[in-house]
A = this chain, B = another copy of it.
Amino acid sequence: MLQINSSRFFKRLNAINKLNSNISKNGINRIALTKKDKEARDIIVKWMKEIGLKIKIDKIGNIFGFNYFNKNSQPIVLGSHIDSVKNGGKYDGLVGVIGALEIIEILNSRKKKLPNIGIAIFTNEEGVRFSPDMMGSWSFIKSETINKIHSIKDDNNITIKQALKKINYLGREKQLFFKPKYFLELHIEQGPILDMNRKDIGIVNGVQAINWIKISLSGQSNHAGTTPNSNKIDPNRVFSEVLNYLYKKIKNNSKQLATIGKVEYYPNQTNVIPKQIVFTIDLRNINDLKLKNFKKDLVSKIIFYSKKYSITSKITELVNFKSVKFDKDLNNIIKKNILKNKLSYMNMFSGAGHDAQMISEICPTSMIFIPSKNGISHDKKEFTTKQQIKNGLNLLLNVTEDILR
């Protein structure tokens, strides 16, 4: 069986990560559409050209590279994203992109006709500077929305289009300018399940549904020392009840995830009763209906407590992605090659959203998961061993060979 060149792979992975300084303190800060993103893109595009790939860039800055290209050529596409969260890890996304490059280089080096294969690097999977996340892959399959997406702004009122122009990645290709035959994404699990179960590989049955809501609670700003407790119109009262309700509700529910990760107090001063608290809730569930009902109950509680404490609440939906099932035939091919490679495996759902879930709408798609130590991700402590990465890369290589036949 063919094997990847792991020293070349890790040399490239490290070269991209080392564009960040002081990683042991700050982790990786390759936020989409920033200077750091551009630096990484430029180097990877150079490498893609060096192995003979033709580069195509679309209007959301997704980068594609192909051995051959015409509108109907239907290549097999491997890929992922290269952007990170703030203070993120070294593997999330990047392993799938550098891995795709390595696999195509190996396949191209055989003395045969070049395979009909390509690489995809999707813009802004993390959604840090510009929301929503999975923006590149989502935009790729929704050709009608590109103008709307271009006008999305960051916190400094800079639009996506301006940011794309600035880093020189506003491409010419229209969204959906081709359809892959298959799409495969190798990715770290970002959760503890493979690590806890000591498995090499996760066969990914699908992705759980994701729903982000933003809640704004407005009361009356006032002096902390002169306002009797009974006169306060303090949004903390509602926030406290919502936190309390949420954590009780998920305590004995292993399927429903809920996270409060982003919270802003206004005016945010020690001696001022807050005028406003704005926060987001990230809800995830494999089951679309259960997620919908959980959210419905949560929203009604927020409204109930807001009334109770004379707080004005405003609830906005930021993201709503239904759950996704990956291709069963592709997963059977993955399983066959796992057994051939004598690796251990388990079937699982993805907790995180991935570009693959978007691309699954237009072609047979699946993912290959490799373990994350202690399940830590989106953090500088994110870690996967070299052997675990090699297992994943060789498996992806063998699966790709199989479907090229």
* A contact residues vs B (CB 8 Å cutoff): 85-87, 126-128, 131, 133, 189-193, 208, 210, 212, 220-231, 234, 236-237, 239-240, 243-244, 247, 250-251, 253-254, 256-257, 259-265, 267-275, 277, 280, 282, 284, 318, 350-353, 372, 375-379
Sample (8) of A-B pairs whose CB atoms are under 8 Å apart: A190-B223, A190-B225, A192-B227, A210-B225, A224-B261, A224-B284, A261-B272, A272-B378
Per a CB cutoff under 8 Å, which of B210, B225, B239, B353 touches A353? Answer: B225
Q: Give chain B residues whose Cβ lies under 8 Å from the Cβ of A220.
A: 376, 379
Question: A225–B86 contact, CB under 8 A?
Answer: no
Q: Is the interface of A mostly helix, strand, loop or mixed?
A: loop
Q: Give chain B residues whose Cβ lies under 8 Å from the Cβ of A261.
A: 224, 265, 268-274
Question: A190–B351 contact, CB under 8 A?
Answer: no
Question: B269–A253 contact, CB under 8 A?
Answer: no
> Contacts A131-B270, A192-B228 given; 17 further ones with Cβ under 8 A?
A85-B267, A127-B271, A128-B269, A189-B226, A192-B226, A212-B270, A223-B375, A224-B259, A225-B350, A226-B352, A234-B259, A236-B247, A243-B244, A259-B273, A262-B265, A262-B268, A263-B263
Per a CB cutoff under 8 Å, which of B191, B227, B282 touches A375? Answer: B227
Question: A85–B253 contact, CB under 8 A?
Answer: no
A262-B269 contact, Cβ under 8 Å, with A225-B208, A225-B351, A247-B236 = yes
